Amino acid sequence: MKLFLEKRSVVIAISWAFVHIYLLYAQPAHAQRDSSERFVMPSKNVDSISLQEVVISENRLQIPFTQQNRNIQVIDRKQIDALPARSINELLSHIGGVDLRQRGPFGTQADVSIDGGTFEQTLILVNGIKVLDAQTAHNGLNLPIPTDAIERIEIIRGPAARIYGINSLTGAINIVTRKPQQPELSAHAYAGTGFQRDTAGNGALFNGRGLQLGGTYATSQQQHSLYGGHESGNGYRYNTAFRNHKAYYQGNIQTNATDALTLMGGYVYNNFGANGFYAAPGDRESQEIVQTVLAAIAYHAQLTERFSLSPRVSYRYAYDDYRYFRNDLSRARSQHHGHAFNTEINGTWHTAAGTIGVGAEMRREIIRSSNIGNHDRNNYGLYAEFKTERIRNLLLNAGVYANYNSDYGWQVFPGIDLGYQLSREWKIVAHTGTGQRIPSFTDLYLDQRPGNIGNPLLQSERSWYVEGGIKYSRERLAAQATYFYRNVNDFIDWVRESSDEPWQPYNFQHNRTRGVTFSGNYRVLHDTRVNLMTGVSYTWLSPTFDGSNNTGVLSKYAIESLRHQATANLTIGVDHFSATLAGRFNQRISYRSYFLGDVRLAYQFKPLGVYLDAQNVFDVTYIEAGAVPMPGRWISLGVKWAM
């Protein structure tokens, strides 16, 4: 039997920026070819794709953006080039519904969640491959992918168990890397500072710097990409120095007209000062070293005109070395080695009634740890999905995922999407689904007294979700508004009754969340001197937590869920010059709130492009996670070269 490489995905473009009322009613004039290369850094492999042409990548069925019934957000290559952001973490902070809580900048450590969930309830993927960290989702974004290697980032809001399986309880984030169309060499160098000095240390000026290199080779039969990245600096306050190395390879080899082999491999080494990250103020001298290895191989086999198969094997190794006293490794040091082996096979069958997707997967997770112990578990999943457009103006997509875990037994997760086309532009959508989050090894077995201890009696979290909304889509304009309700039973939170006790996780709470979301984006792409892309998003959340034993209990994560979030971007280009303005507002249910403004000014003179970033322009003092203050105003200068 032939093997399969998962179906080719096409870029979806959604812009984030300030939306002017007149733009929402303007006509997209003469947008024949994407002229945005005049105001973003060189990106030779990105062509103009209208919103009607793009396809969202899922593991089994490929559904065009205009036919999607889910609440999906996307940031594409053009936005990545335009935004004042240096890392995947910072890119995600500009996406509506995504709560990015950094304990340090420069891509050191960050927790990511979706629509008021916890960081353990969001699944991270690279090209559809799960990079789930069974030790702890604190390391989920420790990825070996420089930003220059990313084609787009897709965010599915709401339970995605029917599509991706377990641990996508509130959603999934899929990072899609670039597939080259022609040979290219590229380099990207940048450096920045907040103009503050380390008065608690050696008095040096706080700074950071980075370098990314890339090379691609492409013919009609094969495409290969190799990227590397290095970032380092002394941080932005005492004991926040960092050193980060990345290497990433991707290869696509056509074996015949319909079949192809895909290879992927990556390595990241991340070493950073962890002052105040997990146990402030006692961890002022702490340090953490995190390493991750990713590898995958897949094949595309078109067995018949209607039927195809996609086997894939992937592996993830994770090493975490947390040093509470960086200058005394004989005490309070935690070392963890994690392994995850994943095999899966996806099949697609096109029939007269509709398209059927079926498949199976097996996952084995292993940990060897100094303070978690030695544990392993197995997970098996079976799934089926059906999509049809046989009913006039109605798109139906339904499926079920059955999962068996060696620790938690069988669970079944059904889901259904419905979309009714009112007109060419307007569409009513509805979705309901279920999800599960299996506790991490840290939740279950951690012994880090007196700060944190696990709970081996934890049950898995289970959720039910329903949403409905309306979408509007034209050639250059897209907008959607939705309402959702999510019910999570056996919600896991780390709690304690007083500051003298250790944090410990329990299932005692139920989490109910209501939410309203809106996003609108417009891309004016004239074949003239002036260009514009703009968009805005807003999310309102009303989470409630209840349980029989929660009176007087302190919560580690629930109290910091979002209540209001707004993001907006505006990019204006005139000839070779461009300016991007980005604004973000977050308010949490603790009523802690902050507004951040970022700016990028860029100029391109091929094959070079230069840019100046000003992040946190208003020098706001704010905290995203724990007791870690984030940097104030930070100025960076960057240069890109590609040919």
Residue 11 belongs to some domain of the structure? no
Give the type of residue at 460.
S
What is the separation of C-alpha 500 from the centre of its chain, rounded to a whole number of angstroms?
A: 36
Residue with tokens 């890339």: 214
At residue 46, does pLDDT exceed 50? Answer: no
As a whole number of angstroms, the distance between CA 342 and CA 314 comes to: 5
Please enumerate in sequence order all residues whose Cβ is within 8 A of that of 190, keeping only pairs 6 or more positions apart, or say none.
86, 209, 210, 211, 636, 637, 638, 639
Residue 513 belongs to some domain of the structure? yes
Q: Which two tokens stand for residue 618?
A: 């208003």
As a whole number of angstroms, the distance between CA 322 and CA 274 comes to: 9
As a whole number of angstroms, the distance between CA 503 and CA 442 comes to: 12
Residue with tokens 């940097």: 631
Segment 246-283, tens digit of pLDDT = 999 999 999 998 999 999 999 999 999 999 888 778 88
Residue 421 belongs to some domain of the structure? yes
- 482 and 69 in contact (C-beta within 8 Å)? no
Q: Which of 181-185, 578-582, 626-630 has the lowest mean pLDDT?
A: 626-630
Give the type of residue at 53.
E
Q: For residue 106, which of 234, 275, 265 has the smallest C-alpha distance?
A: 234
What are residue 420's DSSP bridge partners?
394, 428
Report the pLDDT value the prediction gives residue 503, as an integer from 0 to 100: 86
* CA angle 93–95–98, rounded 5-degree value: 70
Residue 94 belongs to some domain of the structure? yes
Residue 1 belongs to some domain of the structure? no
Helices (H), 407-474: 441-445
Q: Residue 255 sits in a domain of what CATH number?
A: 2.40.170.20
Residue 402 belongs to some domain of the structure? yes
Give the type of residue at 632.
G
At residue 69, does pLDDT exceed 60? Answer: yes
In the three-class reduction of DSSP (H, G, I as helix; E, B as strand; rest coil), residue 24 is classed as: helix
Report the pLDDT value the prediction gives residue 487, as an integer from 0 to 100: 94
Residue 470 belongs to some domain of the structure? yes
In the three-class reduction of DSSP (H, G, I as helix; E, B as strand; rest coil), residue 297 is classed as: strand
Write down the pTM of the prediction.
0.88
Segment 445-503, tens digit of pLDDT = 998 877 789 999 999 999 999 999 999 988 788 899 999 999 999 999 888 888 788 88
DSSP 352: S
Q: Could you please report the per-residue DSSP string of 79-140?
A: HHHHSS-SSHHHHHTTSTTEEEEEEETTTTEEEEEETT--GGGEEEEETTEE---SS-GGGT
Q: How many domains does the chain have?
A: 1
Residue 5 belongs to some domain of the structure? no
In the three-class reduction of DSSP (H, G, I as helix; E, B as strand; rest coil), residue 566 is classed as: strand
In whole numbers, what is the pLDDT of the chain averaged over residues?
A: 86
* Reported confidence tier of residue 441, pLDDT bands at 50, 70, 90: very high
Segment 361-408, tens digit of pLDDT = 999 999 999 999 999 999 999 999 999 989 999 999 999 999 999 999
Helix (H) / strand (E) containing 396: strand 394-405
- Domain range for 450 is 21-642
At residue 218, does pLDDT exceed 90? Answer: yes
